[in-house]
Structure 1
Amino acid sequence: MNTSIKSFVLAGSVMLLSAACANRLDVQPTQSIDESTALATEQDVNVTLVGAYDGMSSINVYGGAFQYTGDLLGDDREVVFGGTFTTLDELWRKTITPGNSQTTLTWNNSYAAINRANNVLSALDKVSTANRGPVEAQARFIRAAIYFELVRLYAKAWGDGDNAANLGVPLVLNPTRSVTDEDYKARNSVAEVYAQIIDDLTKAEQLAKYPPAIALLARVYLMQGNNASARDAANRVIASGLFELETDFANAFVDDNAESIFSIVVTDQDGANDMNTYYASALNQGRGDIRVQTKHLALYEANDIRGKFFNTSNAGSRTFTSKFNDRFGDVPVLRLAEMYLIRAEANFRLGTTVGATPLADINMIRARAGLAPVASLTLAAILKERKLELAFEGQQIHDIKRTKGTVGTTVFSANNLVLPIPQREIDTNKKLVQNPGY
């Protein structure tokens, strides 16, 4: 059974909020009222949790920026960035400057959303015992998800050198309500950031068996090369029975679909979808900036439905993915298909068959794509299925780094495949150290 993110993701908060609103309709934003009253009641905490989700949904966070940054950094002419925004062009060309306004916005908006989650976690004593677990689980998930993207983008990848010595991002785990010298944090190590991410996600699972947290945990463990834990987390999501593969590949990219584990909700009244902005043509309300090239299209087998999930404009001279055609469509973050791919890869690497054989999982993905089953597998074949299934969903640079691949002739460990710490932050916080090469 599908558990829609619109109803599930706020199960411990929105229903409570809705019930309370009948009595308190005039709710001031928590950032504009006195600290002593901002989080005085359970409703206040729920309002702040909704605000944390809203921060997470920003176009500079999971509303687009995390995803297109991962794609453009990992691209080797499978797409062309044909837009006029130099900020994204720098990402595509791997010539990012510390003053890049987009990477600065991503950093700032990410920490703003983390701060909202921290505010929720600081006021759990105001939440009833019955609701405390789900509220805490969701706040921890939000914080962990954003830190995971930050450490993957602004720091060296896990396993690229000494994780305990490589600089990650600053861990801020308490609310920042006024800025003093104590609030300027140095960068924690990559190992410390990952440890915090895993701690948050593990507790989110323990507290509420929160599916997005378990699915993200599978992705985190895969990034670390912890194949047994990645396999087991992915298997828990699959075995839960809460989600199922859509029989039609196209339906995996419509709202409220059966395989969506976590999506950023966008409506014509709230939210924005920057994946549509940059990946969709003008015919689909986008800018048409990211154009798919023949090099990518040639990767698909002749009968692969995914290889036909594109549209063209300008008399067929420009090609675009059809994953983000809906301007008000939800932005996919975690899909069940990825859980099958993680389980298949981890089982293959380990020589195990937990949940299913790697061959069965890969053939399930291939069958949905309209392809004949294969009789045998290689790691390269599994990674190719992953690349084609998750194309344009933000995983490209991270998969290249974890498998120690290349972007063209650029090695995975190159300095220009790591974002610079924003210059504004370097100038303000003297404890921050810039990444090599910038």
Structure 2
Amino acid sequence: MKIKNIFQIAVLSGAVLISSCTDSYLDQKPQASLDAKTAYVDAASAKAGLLGIYSGFQSGDYYGLRFWALTDMYANTLSHTGTFPSFAQINNKAILADNTEITNMWNRMYSTVNRANTLLAAIPTITDPALNKDAYTAEVKTLRAMIYFDLLRLFGGSNSGYNQSSGVGVPIVLTPTLVETDATPVAKSTEAQVFTQIKKDLDDAIAVTSFSNKILGRMGKDAAKMLRARVALYTGDYASAESLSTELISSGRYTMLSGANYANIWLTQNTSESIFELQFDAQNSNAIAFFYYPTTLGGRNEINSSGTLNSAHEVGDVRQEINYTTTSPKKITKKYTRVSTGADDVTIMRMSELFLIRAESRAKKSTPDIAGALADLNVVRSRAGLANFGAILPADINTQIVKENRIEFAHEGHIWFDLRRNGLAGTIVTEAYKALWPIPQREVLNSGGVITQNAGY
């Protein structure tokens, strides 16, 4: 890829986000900017650069809306009810390589990678004793690993899923690009090479003793371990996925909310269930609720919960009214309700996923532990007000885990990747090549042939 095309936000123009907040909380509204080449000179400017990376995650082209909403739409968990042609392509499984949403998502993710690379290159040169270089490096590597994991899940892998020898990857860029004249095309790596880099970043981060387990609004070591467990699940390393999820479940740092408290995950935010939650407020807002809510209530109703999501719930499931409202406004979600302020946080990692990661790992490992997998599955079902499965056939356990993932993480962007990981993309798309999304056509053209388009587009 040509860096000048994908790294067009903030860093390439010389803007590095600055703030004076403390390490204990993610300051939500960066205050100023300065030249990237001279910015990182002390702990305060390094913190500003770190917040710039989180700002990339908060973008509406990434976790601020499109990354999870559009993949949920592709998997028929959301429906397109608005007028955007670019959304309609995704809803109809007819994505063109010049789709604006795809292009903007790609650009945003790689621009955020560049912010991470820029800070990582600068940290060793900072002499300010107030900066914990090791902890900062660990956190930034965790963030970079997260972005590459997301890029790979969208644009890489194979038609049959992930962890295949034929799997294609995405371009790996590990050095900063500060000016356009430094831009050079970078070819796609293989899927295996991208996973290797992701694992390296995460393993490096987890090994840092001064990297805090929990940092409100940011990725701490627990989030790094949870991401590592996700990666292990995708690469068939079920022993590691089980071990890491067990470690976090047993840590005592997280508890699941149940009954009437379940809705507080989104109503009160930053609950004991949350492991990594992006912070938003009225000054640093998102448009998530705006995209769901009808015009009569201040929204544009571009997206709705789908009827198939609604019908997937069992009778008595407390998640149903959260996932698919039946009272006005209907067919939206109660996970994002702050339409007037845009101050809904986005929960990216929470404890219930750990039980489902462990359930899938136990069911799929070389000597399956069906009883253990069933126990984990029942933890999530019980919290939702459903009866436990008393017994289940080994052949059926994974089907139930996939179903549980869809309902538990509706409107959070899990299900499309769960389907791909389990070789079930064909339940959504009739043409196998559509399991991978297209590389933005502009990247292919501007690379002069270095970047190749994904097959079929």
CA distance, structure 2, for counterparts of residue 168 and residue 45 of structure 1: 31
What is the aligned partner in structure 1 of residue 292 from structure 2? 279
Q: Identify which of 390, 396, 400 aligns with 2:409.
A: 390
Q: How does 1:33-432 map to 2 (within 5 A)?
A: 33=35, 35=37, 37-75=38-76, 79-125=78-124, 126=126, 128=129, 131-157=132-158, 160=161, 163=164, 165-180=166-181, 183-207=184-208, 208=211, 209=213, 210-247=221-258, 248-254=261-267, 255-274=269-288, 276-282=289-295, 285-309=298-322, 310-312=324-326, 318-326=330-338, 327-350=342-365, 351=367, 357-377=372-392, 378-408=397-427, 410=429, 414-430=432-448, 431-432=450-451
Amino acid at match of 1:380: T
Q: Give unmatched runs, 5+ long, in structure 1.
A: 1-12, 19-25
Aligned-residue CA RMSD (Å): 2.7
Q: 1:220 to 1:287 in 2, by over 3 A?
A: farther
Q: Contact 2:42–2:131 at 8 Å: present in 1 too?
A: no
Q: How far off its partner does 1:416 sit? A: 2.1
Give 1:434 shift. Answer: 0.9
> Which residue matches 1:437?
456
Q: Secondary structure at the match of 1:404?
A: coil
The question of whether the paired residues in 1 share the 8 Å contact of 2:116 and 2:144 is answered with yes
Counterpart amino acid of 1:132? Answer: K
Structure 1 residues 330 and 97, CA, compared in 2 at 3 Å: closer, same or farther? same
Q: Distance in 2 between matches of 1:117 and 1:128?
A: 21
8 Å Cα contact 2:75/2:428 also seen in 1 = no
Structure 1 residues 277 and 419, CA gap change in structure 2 (3 angstroms): farther
One-letter amino acid of the counterpart of residue 174, structure 1? T
- Give 1:409 deviation, angstroms: 6.1
Letter in 2 for 1:428: N
Query: C-alpha displacement at 1:129, in angstroms?
Result: 8.2
How far residue 107 of structure 1 moved from its aligned partner, in angstroms, is: 0.8
Q: Secondary structure at the match of 1:168?
A: strand
Residue 236 of structure 1, CA deviation? 1.9
Secondary structure at the residue paired with 1:80? strand
Residues 58 and 271 of structure 1 are in contact (CA less than 8 Å); yes or no, is this contact kept in structure 2? no
Tell me the distance in 1 between the aligned counterparts of 2:237 and 2:386: 30
Paired residue type of 1:396:
I
Distance of 2:452 and 2:294 partners within structure 1: 40
Question: Which whole-Å CA distance do the structure 2 matches of 1:41 and 1:17 have between them?
Answer: 18
The 3-state SS of whatever aligns with 2:22 is helix
Change (3 A) 1:143 1:369: same
1:389 maps to amino acid: E
Measure, in 2, the Cα distance between the counterparts of 1:167 and 1:294: 34
The one-letter amino acid paired with 2:331 is T
Deviations 1:216-271 (A, max 9, x none): 11112212222111111212221222211112221222311111111121100113
SS in structure 2 of the partner of residue 183 of structure 1: coil
CA 1:140 to 1:159, structure 2 compared with 1: closer, same or farther past 3 Å?
Answer: farther
Distance 1:214 1:424, change over 3 A: same
TM-score normalised over the length of structure 2: 0.82
CA distance in 1, matches of 2:67, 2:148: 11
More divergent stretch after superposition (96-105 vs 216-225): 216-225
CA separation of 1:358 and 1:119: change in aligned 2, threshold 3 A? same
- For the Cα contact (< 8 Å) 1:230–1:343, is it kept in 2? yes
CA distances 1:115-165 after superposition (whole Å, capped 9, x unpaired): 111111112221648712221121111111111111111123496488555
Deviation at 1:184, TM superposition (A): 1.7
Answer with 378-387 or 84-93: which moved more. 378-387
**Unmatched tracts of structure 2, length 5 or more:** 1-19, 214-220
TM-score by length of structure 1 reads 0.86
Residue 68 to residue 193, structure 1, CA distance change in 2 (3 Å): same
- Paired with 1:17 and 1:325, the residues of 2 have a C-alpha distance of 27
C-alpha separation in 2, matches of 1:199 and 1:51: 23
**Residues in 2 aligned to 1:297 and 1:182: alpha-carbon distance in whole angstroms:** 47
- What is the alpha-carbon distance in structure 1 between the residues aligned to residue 299 and residue 205 of structure 2? 36
Paired AA for residue 341 in structure 1: L
- Give, in whole Å, the separation in 2 of the partners of 1:38 and 1:17: 22
